[in-house]
Amino acid sequence: MALIQGLAAHAAGAELLPFRYDPGELRPQEVEIRISHCGVCHSDLHLISNDWSISQYPFIPGHEIVGTVVAAAPDVTSLEVGQRVGVGWQSNSCGLCEWCSRGMENLCPSMEATCVRRNGGYAQAVRVNARFAIPIPDAISSEGAAPLLCGGITVYNPLRAHGVNPSSRVGVVGIGGLGHIALQFARVFGAEVTAFSTSAAKEEEARALGAHGFVNTRESRAVRDVAGTFDFILTTINADQDWNSYIQSLRPTGTLCFVGVPPSAVSVNAFPLVAGIRTITGSPIGSPHLLREMLDVAARHGVKAQTEVSPMAKVNEAIAKVKKNKVRYRAVLAN
């Protein structure tokens, strides 16, 4: 079996270096995908710097993968060699537990992540369980599809699960890779959408992506000024904030939903939760079924990741730019 060539972190926070590994024999239910594009999600940066204490080195990051099936185990019936597919954060699940049988594989206790303790998509190829290789609709380009496989599904799932609709007032906090897609899906669901951003320069683009309103969170009272406004706030940032002011900006029965994980514990006053039946929750990626639905909705409603494409070999430059919050809005590596 041929070695797979990629770019790996060899220690916490280190620059990525060329790395080859032997994937062994193709296992039952597995497909091998020749990668054309891979998005740079901020979770890759967390894994490279071992922020979540789950990284094992060396490893190849990358979990917003698009490519072509080049080999399939004999028992794979759902995909064919030559088919264009995408893979997100999850690459396997047990297939048997309550959550898998309910079609919520992203909650499977034995879920395997595409680039945690295994090698991901900053590479020529990757192997995954065929259930997690999702066909890409023809209407979506490969570079445009890659960011949808993690960033897209992560925002689509909670907007959908919490019933966002034309009567909803939705806030999206952080207009980066996830946030710029969230603005578009919230708009497609018919909501009135507000972007919360530290970057005043993003206002015009946020409005073009679907936002009706823009809150510059660098202004000291900006979040307090929108108190009592939102039914649903989706926060995509990985920074600490005054979360009490976000809770205050919810209407009664409103929900603050975390998809980005702030480094410190989230500390809020219980009173506004009690008085207004407000909820704090979170959401992890989405199931293969929802990935198919999300890609279909994106294709039919023109939801598009805005990308900056560079060759795979320029991975360290791309990562540095994500770190500085300079990418508009998703870096994508291409082979």
184 near ligand NAP, rule: CB under 6 A: no
Residue count of the chain: 335
Closest by CA position to 166, among listed 137, 188, 149: 188
Residue 119 binding target from ligand NAP, Zn ion, none, CB below 5 to 8 Å by type = none
305 near Zn ion, rule: CB under 5 A: no
Q: Binding pattern to ligand NAP, positions 306-325, x when CB under 6 A? A: ----------------x--x
Q: Which amino acid is at 113?
A: A
Residue with structure tokens 């594989």?
A: 105
Q: Work out whether the CA dihedral 187, 192, 197, 200 comes out positive or negative.
A: positive
Nearer to ligand NAP, 141 or 203 (CB): 203
Pick the stretch among 71-79, 223-231, 233-241, 308-316 that binds ligand NAP (CB under 6 A): 233-241
Pick the stretch among 12-20, 109-117, 127-135, 237-245 that binds ligand NAP (CB under 6 A): 237-245
Contact residue for ligand NAP among 9, 35, 65, 150 (CB under 6 A) = 150
41 near Zn ion, rule: CB under 5 A: yes
Contact residue for Zn ion among 9, 16, 33, 43 (CB under 5 A) = 43
182 near ligand NAP, rule: CB under 6 A: no
90 near Zn ion, rule: CB under 5 A: no
Q: Binding pattern to ligand NAP, positions 33-62, x when CB under 6 A? A: --------xxx--x----------------
CA-to-CA separations, 145 to 29, 74, 93, 138, in angstroms, rounded:
24, 28, 23, 10
Pick the stretch among 9-17, 198-206, 242-250, 272-280 that binds ligand NAP (CB under 6 A): 198-206
Q: Give min distance, CB of 291 to ligand NAP, in A.
A: 12
For ligand NAP (CB under 6 A), the number of binding residues is: 29
Q: Give min distance, CB of 232 to ligand NAP, in A.
A: 15
259 near ligand NAP, rule: CB under 6 A: yes
Site for ligand NAP in 264-303 (CB under 6 A): 283-285
CA–CA separation, 162 vs 254, rounded Å?
A: 10
Note the residues at the interface with ligand NAP (CB under 6 A). Answer: 41-43, 46, 150-151, 154, 174-179, 197-199, 202, 236-239, 259-261, 283-285, 322, 325
Note the residues at the interface with Zn ion (CB under 5 A). Answer: 41, 43, 150
